[in-house]
Amino acid sequence: MGSRLIGYGSYLPERVVTNFDLEKMVDTSDEWIVQRTGMRERHFARDDETVVDMAVHAARRALDNAKITINDIDMVIVATTSAELDFPSVGVQVLGRLNATNNAPAFDVRGACTGYIYALHCARAFFSAGMHKRIMVIGAEKMSRFIDWNDRSTAVLFGDGAGALIFEHSTSSYSGIIDTVVMSDGREMDMLYGTPDHRIMMNGPETYKKAVTLMPDAASYIMEHAGITADNVDWIVPHQANIRIIQSGAQRLGFPLEKILVTVDKHANTSGASGVLALAYAFDNNIIKHGQLVLYPAFGSGLTWGAALIRV
Ligand code: UT7
């Protein structure tokens, strides 16, 4: 049993914060941010706008896109690390807000920036086992909650948003979520973590060094496992943390830059929402077309890393 992608949706908060806006908030410059990260703007949620609000918008759009209703979904998996409430899960709250009456299960995964790959890994397992028919995978984050405005090295990097993908079971193992790999190394947690008082702590240069090897490693593993090469892949959609990490990874894998989807300039780093938002952006703008093969690597706090291979 496999799966196929039947719908997608995304939501970005209305407020756009440019690098020039950030210049007024921290000791930084548009030039530094563009050169070091490739970021130009990001979206920040309103104070009263929650992770659940953003996830609900994305989920509604995905349901409309798939032309189904919430009761057609029999599992929701949400990748998030920034939910306002410790419990219940964002997934259950999304089902409640959409008035689901079919008692479908929902849960959140906390894989930080690799969260959406962890969520896809779970979805693939449930489809392989033949246990669920339609699974909605959501990535939703309000990273602006965690920004420490006294730390310019992290304050400029993050943004908010949500994306949703709906997969349906299929007898083909060559469509939908074809393969996934997820890994972690908890010994490296000091490199990047959230403090109890909700501040991001990151050793940027050390995290960078890990990201430029572990993301391509996960991508290579998936290609080898699937018996394909870079030539067979139509698009690589990496976690959008930094343009230099994206370009260095592409080079290591032998991918031409034209095959790399970049949204870090528009969304900045939206952590567990990053790849889902990027894919939705690519569909909305007719960049990635249905039927194409997408390689989806990610990396983040934990350390966690992994990749998915999806025929969209
Ligand atoms: O999504 C989860 C995974 N996260 C990542 O993958 C992020 C990985 N790390 C990075 O992307 C990069 O390390 C950063 C973008 C965070 C930083 O870039 P960098 O080239 O590693 O800079 P750095 O930390 O080595 O700092 C270089 C200089 C320092 O000044 P001095 O000591 O050379 O005078 C910093 O103080 O840049 C300074 N700096 C800034 N200057 C202007 C740091 N942040 C800023 C800033 N504006 N916002």
Q: Which of 280, 30, 75, 260 is nearest to 161 (CA)?
A: 280
User: Token digits for 185?
Assistant: 């190394």
The highest-level CATH class for domain 2-170 is alpha beta
CA–CA gap between residue 269 and residue 271 (Å, rounded): 6
Determine the pLDDT at residue 71.
98
Asked whether 147 lines ligand 1 (CB < 6 A), one says no
pLDDT under 70 in the chain at which residues? Answer: none
Q: Cα of 105 to ligand 1 centre, how many Å?
A: 41
Determine the pLDDT at residue 22.
98
pTM of the model: 0.97
Start-to-end CA span in the chain (Å)? 17
CA–CA gap between residue 83 and residue 88 (Å, rounded): 10
Which amino acid makes up residue 186? G
Q: Which of 139, 188, 131, 130 is nearest to 159 (CA)?
A: 139
Angle at 157 between CA 155 and CA 159, to 5 degrees: 100
The highest-level CATH class for domain 176-311 is alpha beta
Determine the pLDDT at residue 282.
98
Asked whether 152 lines ligand 1 (CB < 6 A), one says yes
Asked whether 245 lines ligand 1 (CB < 6 A), one says yes
Q: What are phi and psi of 80, to 5 degrees?
A: -160, 150
* 169 part of the active site: no
Residues of the chain with CATH 3.40.47.10: 2-170, 176-311
Q: Cα of 257 to ligand 1 centre, how many Å?
A: 23
CA–CA gap between residue 244 and residue 242 (Å, rounded): 5
Q: Cα of 134 to ligand 1 centre, how many Å?
A: 41
